[in-house]
Structure 1
Amino acid sequence: MAEDYPAGGARPRRRGRKLLIGLIVLLLVVAGLLVVADRVAVGVAERTIADRVGQEIAKQGAQAATPDVEVAGTPFLTQVLDGRYQRITINLRDVRTSVEGDAVQLPVLDVTARNVRASLDTLRTGQGDIIADTVNGAGTISYDSLAALLNRPGLKLGEQNGKLAVTAPVDILGQKLTVAGTADVTVADNGAVALRFNDLDAAGLPNLPLARALVNNYAKGISIDVPLPDLPFQLTVREVRPLPEGLAVTVDAKDVPINSVG
């Protein structure tokens, strides 16, 4: 014989608990879907920016691997609705361009754009500007491409104790010698990289004023201002310093259309 349950008894409580559990599960599913949608939207934005940057690099006559773009900040969808993004990082690899016909290689160029403004329609259609209040970056110029610009047979560049070091074969008064020394590296007023080799020497150099004068003349001949290629994102070089992997440059810019690098 079935047992009767009074009002407010155990069975209604069990049903109430089931309803509460079901509601919690539903909320978790909805939250999960929102997270997935948020991540999907991030992916779409990152691909859009990467495509535009890649197109503009090609228009500039340069080459680079596909840009790696990361849009920071969560949730992303609220940033979309607001049209402002906390931070966008663009990593460029194997950038190749030319200066006066000679190839210049930047193995690494990492750029961070902050307080970025982009409308939803721009992200959806790929049309319109994506403007960053500030852009900061760091890159390297390979020593091989820098040495090619100096155009001295056998000349090699590298880093030594935080300075730009050079070695090169020379012919001094009929003797085959190797000059070596370091250079001061600064940013010139025109944005070029200024190389000043002030202290070169050579083992076995004859102790003659003419021999010393020839070495000094060689140092002056490679002490030049190296013009850099047009950098993407309207970046301006602020600092240059030698590292083991290449000549490192620190760059920045303000109010930059990051999807228009020319």
Structure 2
Amino acid sequence: MIFVVILGGLFVAADRAAVYFAETEAASKIKSSQGLGSEPDVSIKGFPFLTQVANSKLDEIEISIGGITATTEGREVEVTEVKAELRDVTVNSTFSSAVAGSAEGSALISYEDLTKSAPKGATVGYAGPERAAKGQVKVSGPLGDLVEGAGIDVPDAFKALLRDDFTAYSTVSLEGDKVRLRAEDLPTLPVPGVEDKLKDVVDYDLTIDGLPSTIKLDKVTATEDGLRFSGTGQDVDLTS
């Protein structure tokens, strides 16, 4: 009985060592093939691992990626919680080839970071459940600050009219690697000619830089935490 326990322990140790080696090799391959700035965190699920390798198929792999950013007009913000969950992954013995039968990708940009990317003087926040269900976020701030930050010239005689707060709701969409924010009807502004100019500033795009080609995000959802992105794929090649 003790002998069986010892053998079992050795097998588990060997299995875990093999997993560690495979995760390290996979991280290196993915970094190289996908052009990432740093190695991702790769976690191979399922036990025993060696049996999966013998069958050349892994049940599930989870990849977490850091260092992804989004930029607009020189302003850079962090994209967090970038993950890919891969299932039914067919591999060869050297892990130089890996194809996932299905994949799910996800990422998050918080409202704090969205505000960093917003026009000067604007704050981006949660718009409430009803508007969030429509894919909208709230863009607000002191009207005078927004006008000044946008570089819009206003005659001195009208500046006193810009003391109120500005609030608009922008619909968010995702097109490739671009996140688009487009304001719905702006509130009526007290200074003639300012509304159209301000809309040109409030509407802006964010370009997500550095996502691996294996992650195709095609859906964006406004949540209480920020904008959550997701996407799915079939027959995803991790090493090309």
The 8 Å contact of residues 69 and 210 in structure 2, kept in 1 or not, is answered as no
Aligned partners of 1:114 and 1:99: how far apart in 2?
A: 34
Give the AA of the match of 1:93.
G
One-letter code of the match for 2:146? Answer: V
Residue in 1 that maps onto 2:91: 118
SS at match of 2:172: strand
Separation in 1, partners of 2:168, 2:74: 28
Are the aligned partners of 1:200 and 1:219 in contact in 2 as well (CA < 8 Å)? yes
Once residues 216 and 30 of structure 1 are traced to their aligned partners in structure 2, the CA distance between those partners, rounded to angstroms, is: 75
What root-mean-square deviation, in Å, do the aligned CA atoms of Structure 1 and Structure 2 show? 2.9
Q: Residue type matched to 1:113 in 2?
A: L
Residues 138 and 249 of structure 1 are in contact (CA less than 8 Å); yes or no, is this contact kept in structure 2?
yes
Percent of aligned positions with the same letter in both sequences? 25
Q: C-alpha distance in 1, partners of 2:90/2:72?
A: 33
Task: Identify the residue that residue 109 of structure 2 maps to in structure 1.
Answer: 141
Matched, 1:196 2:196: no
- Matches of 1:236 and 1:100, distance apart in 2: 24
Q: Determine the C-alpha separation between the residues in 1 that align with 2:61 and 2:84.
A: 8
Q: Distance in 2 between matches of 1:121 and 1:256?
A: 18
**Partner SS, residue 47 of structure 2:** coil
Code of the aligned partner of 2:85: T
Answer whether contact 2:69 2:76 (CA < 8 A) is retained.
Answer: yes
The yes-or-no answer on 1:79 pairing with 2:56 is no
Range that drifts further, 95-104 or 38-47: 95-104
Corresponding residue of 1:249 = 229
1:223 matched to 2:203? The reply is: yes
- Tell me the residue number matched to 1:9: none
Shift of 1:84: 0.6
State the match for 1:170 in structure 2. Answer: 146
Q: Please, what TM-score do these two structures have when normalized by structure 1?
A: 0.71
User: Aligned residue for 1:42?
Assistant: 19
Matched AA of 2:4: L
- How big is the shift at 1:100? 7.1
CA distance 1:253–1:99, change in 2 (3 Å): farther
Name the CA distance, whole Å, in 2 between partners of 1:97 and 1:132: 27
> How many residue pairs get matched?
220
Q: What is the aligned partner in structure 1 of residue 123 from structure 2?
A: 156
Post-superposition offset of 1:70 = 1.4
Classify 1:100/1:56 alpha carbon distance in 2 versus 1 (closer, same or farther; 3 Å): farther
- Closer, same or farther: CA 108–199 of 1 in aligned 2, 3 Å: same
Amino acid at match of 2:45: A
Q: Does the C-alpha gap of structure 1 residues 100 and 113 become closer, same or farther in structure 2, counting only changes over 3 Å?
A: farther
Structure 1 segments unaligned to the other structure (5+ residues): 1-23, 123-127
Shift of 1:245: 3.3
Partner of 2:172: 185
**Partner SS, residue 170 of structure 1:** helix
SS of the residue 2:140 aligns to: strand
Higher relative contact order (CA 8 A, sep 6+): 2
Counterparts in 2 of 1:223 and 1:97: CA distance versus 1, 3 Å: closer
- Does residue 1:237 correspond to 2:217, yes or no? yes
Whole-angstrom CA distance in 2 between matches of 1:158 and 1:91: 26
Is the alpha carbon distance of 1:33 and 1:109 closer, same or farther for their aligned partners in structure 2, counting shifts above 3 Å?
same
Cα deviation for residue 40 of structure 1 reads: 1.5
- Partner of 1:40: helix, strand, or coil? helix
Show the 5 A alignment for 1:90-105: 90-96=63-69, 102-105=75-78
Given that 1:233 and 1:257 are in contact with CA atoms closer than 8 Å, whether structure 2 keeps it comes out as no
